[in-house]
């Protein structure tokens, strides 16, 4: 070994080893008992929660959820009632083509790109998945226009899997209440998956999104109507 190599070897042995800094994961501000009580109350308030998007199959649900990005469920339903009447299978949607799909969804934001994605995802479902909507998140997110949130909605609603799709409503409710604080949707989703009791995981997505849509609204939450008011950690309550 040369003198230079020996020097480098000695220096590396003597150099202090720096430990990797541990990054702590966000934690719920509620106790386990409080979280359980929260979902008991949300379940009592809305015993049978379900998506407000209209669909008749896993395929039409995928399309509806993909169209709902930056659009209201009411607006999407208005468009898809007519669209699904003529194309409610991947084959029919592919045959309709981009221009045909576009004619039905022009009232929805970003309709040009969404029409392109709907036709492309229909083709992929036919070519790569035998005409059936895949039932794993890893496969669903391969579809054009389908991200993690859309995949989670489809897995939960169509296939009964205990996934939680974090949209603006769930993000707001999770942070305000202290249930699952996080700086981004991925952090909130990860924490919700860890703290939501198993019994309530299937319906958690719907309870939280509906609570955010109709009670814990963005500008001025309707705290006087809130079923979980006494458990909520939000400092600026309106009642």
3-state helix, strand, coil in the chain (%, to 5): 60, 0, 40
User: Scanning the structure block, which residue is given the tokens 């989670």?
Assistant: 152
Catalytic residue ranges: 149, 167
Q: What angle do CA 141, 146, 151 make, to 5 degrees?
A: 65
Say if residues 137 and 163 touch (Cβ distance below 8 Å).
yes
Tell me the C-alpha distance between 120 and 83, whole Å: 16
Contacts of 98 (CB under 8 A, 6+ apart): 115, 116, 119
Binding residues: 216, 223, 226, 232
CB 140 within 8 Å of CB 134: yes
DSSP 106: T
C-alpha to C-alpha distance for 53 and 183, rounded to whole angstroms:
28
Per the annotation, binding residues for [4Fe-4S] cluster are 216, 223, 226, 232
> DSSP of 101-135, one letter per residue?
HHHHHTTSTTHHHHHHHHHHHHHHHHHHHTTS---
Dihedrals phi, psi of 2, to nearest 5 degrees: -70, 165
For residue 36, the 8-state DSSP code is H
């Amino acid at each position: 070994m040369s003198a230079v190599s020996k020097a480098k070897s000695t220096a590396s042995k003597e150099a202090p080893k720096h430990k990797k800094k541990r990054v702590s994961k966000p934690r719920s501000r509620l106790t386990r008992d409080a979280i359980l009580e929260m979902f008991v109350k949300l379940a009592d308030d809305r015993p049978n929660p379900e998506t407000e998007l209209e669909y008749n199959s896993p395929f039409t649900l995928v399309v509806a959820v993909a169209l709902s990005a930056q659009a209201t469920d009411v607006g999407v339903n208005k468009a898809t009632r007519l669209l699904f009447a003529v194309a409610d299978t991947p084959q029919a949607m592919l045959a309709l083509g981009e221009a045909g799909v576009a004619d039905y969804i022009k009232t929805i934001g970003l309709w040009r790109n969404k029409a392109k994605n709907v036709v492309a995802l229909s083709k992929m479902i036919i070519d790569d998945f035998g005409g059936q909507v895949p039932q794993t998140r890893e496969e669903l997110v391969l579809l054009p226009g389908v991200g993690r949130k859309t995949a989670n909605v489809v897995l939960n609603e169509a296939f009964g899997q205990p996934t939680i799709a974090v949209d603006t409503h769930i993000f707001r409710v999770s942070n305000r209440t202290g249930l699952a604080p996080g700086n981004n949707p991925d952090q909130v989703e990860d924490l919700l998956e860890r703290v939501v009791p198993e019994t309530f995981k299937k319906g958690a997505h719907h309870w939280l999104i509906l609570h955010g849509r109709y009670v814990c609204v963005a500008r001025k939450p309707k705290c006087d109507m809130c079923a979980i008011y006494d458990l909520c950690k939000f400092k600026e309550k309106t009642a």
